Amino acid sequence: MKQRTLKLQRIYKEGSAYLESRQIPDAQIDAWYLLEYVTGISRASYYGNPEKNISEEEAKRYWEYLEKRARRIPLQHITGSQEFMGYEFLVNEHVLIPRQDTENLVEEALKVIRPDMYVLDMCTGSGCILISLLKYAAERKHITGGKAVGADISADALEVAKKNAQRLKAPVIWVQSDIFENVSESFDLIVSNPPYIRTEVIQGLEDEVKLHDPWIALDGYEDGLYFYRRIVSESISHLNDGAWLMFEIGHDQAEDVSKLMKNAGFCNIYVKKDLAGLDRVVCGMYNKRVAENSSRTKM
């Protein structure tokens, strides 16, 4: 039986080559993160002493994790966490892995948040959007006593969100709800990253997404707009006058989601692009008078 190498540089190169042979995207990066996760080594320590040996137990765990990654299990499901807005969030198969693109939604919400705002995160998943929003707002001293609610239809997802809130000391009320079914309050700000991928598109996504992200967090039904329609129409009775509704969207959904909001009587609607220059966030303000006029016009 071939003896397993224990030297840092050698085992890292072998791990990288193994993932590359299995056509894993960003193989070298993933091989490094797994080595860092197993050994706790920093890049400075690695380059300072690349010939250092790791323990046989660490080598065994490293190769077990490499094999999992080779089977297209997401890196975040192996390590159990993902960074978002500078905070570390627990993740598992019950929640959508936080994406950097979603940070745009948090940044837009931070522009309008003010003291004592009542905030709702609809389809909260891991809670990363709401918790990050609260943490940054508190750091910038914008919030002094507001109230925050995170809602999701999945009880399993809410368990993950609760753990994240406890770890990061974020005061959130968690509600299991099919959109607004179990939500009774009115809010000054609603943020949401709902399922928005068209059903027929999901099977064409990479295995890491279609096999390991929860389908319920991906599927926006036939045209990808099902949850936007529901949230826009049902939010009207849960928004205070002058409140904001903010969505993450797919890159080709800005026009459709903006139209849904305009037709429902929202005003000051605008679209925010992500770092890649793609449409990523749609925001609109609820104005009671405009909404009532819009409703009368349709009659």
Annotated binding site for substrate: 193-196
Triad 247, 212, 221: Cα angle to 5°? 45
**Listed residue (134, 218, 121, 141) closest to 169, CA to CA:** 134
Write out the binding residues for S-adenosyl-L-methionine: 152, 193
The CB density around residue 282, as the number of other CB atoms within 10 Å, is 26
Quote helix, strand, coil % in the chain, to nearest 5.
45, 20, 35
Residue-by-residue DSSP string for 208-232: HHHTTS-GGGTB-TTTS-HHHHHHH
The CB density around residue 119, as the number of other CB atoms within 10 Å, is 24
Write out the binding residues: 152, 193-196
- Residue 296 CA to residue 299 CA, distance in Å, equals 5
DSSP three-state, residue 125: coil
CB 153, CB 161: distance < 8 Å: no
Q: Which residues of 196-222 are buried (b: 16+ CB within 10 A; e: fewer)?
A: bbbbeebeeeeebbbebbbebbbbbee
